[in-house]
Amino acid sequence: MIHSMTGFGRGQASSSNIAITAEAKSVNSRYLDISFRMPKEIQDKELALKELIQAKISRGNVNVNVRINKAETGQPEIAINPELAKGYKGLLEELRDVAQIDTAVSLRDLTKFEEIFVSRERDEKVLQTIWELSKEAADKALDQLVAMRAKEGKQLEKDLLQRVEDIESKMKEVKTLTNGRADEVRAKLLERIQKLVDDDTLDNERLEMEVAILVDKMDITEEIVRLQSHIKFFKEALKSDETVGRRLKFLSQEMNREINTIGSKANNSEISQQVVHAKESLEQIREQVENVE
């Protein structure tokens, strides 16, 4: 079963007044491209998160956003530097005395000095808890993402199968139209040449050889056989449990090559009409395949 490269997932984990939310989203990409947004507490765990993603996803542009829900932890991200706060308070009181100002130093005065606030340092136990919860939340988000990619993959599979079967149907019509076509083309060519060339100067053996060459150049049997083979492999790939996005893209390119050749060699309005319809379906296939993992 094929998977889409587009999806979204969300996961949450909490413990000891610490709550973590992780979101994972992906779009199509030629390779596996991973990017993160995460709190500083776990920025050294980027490699471990990459390995977690690589175990579940093989292709796509994947973005994972991990955040600590501050409102649920009950702890601000900053703390007070007591010594610096006392120092600024003393400085302001000294300034008040020098300037002979009666107003007392207030809390509002002190909060204007940003230096008294510093980032809260978390101990190792808290940091480990944050990492374990982040990993759990990310794992849940990735599972949801993979499930969504699989669900969309089912729709892609259905659409691709329908379109490739449409091409197969058109080629069956073409094959029917080509039955006996070689003899018909040969007879018409001979008739036209006979009218243009004097019978006394006509080399029948050479004429037959030239006609045979022309008929062979117009024969599309080989292209139809190759196209049918590509369609067979394409349908098998749709049912594979492996990552087949690149294989489907290659097969669609090969199908396009054969259909173009059939169209250029056909020299028949009915065949050309079937080729146009086949190319319409193939164009849709090529667009859809770009989003297959």
Position 88 in a domain? yes
Query: Are 285 and 165 in a shared domain?
Result: yes
Contact predicate 281/161, CB 8 Å? no
Tell me, yes or no, whether 11 and 145 share the same domain.
yes
Asked whether residue 94 falls in the same domain as residue 43, the answer is no
Q: Is there a single domain that holds both residue 165 and residue 131?
A: no
Q: Is the pLDDT of residue 65 over 90?
A: yes
Q: Say what percent of the chain tops pLDDT 70.
A: 81
Question: pLDDT band at residue 77, thresholds of 50, 70 and 90?
Answer: low
The total of structural domains in the chain comes to 3
Host domain of residue 40: 7-73+123-149
Tell me the CATH number at 129. 3.30.230
**104 and 129 assigned to the same domain:** no
Asked whether residue 143 falls in the same domain as residue 158, the answer is no
Global pTM reads 0.70
**261 and 247 share a domain?**
yes
Tens-digit pLDDT profile for residues 170-200: 988 888 877 656 566 666 666 666 665 655 5
Same domain, 48 and 29: yes
User: Is 1 inside a domain boundary?
Assistant: no
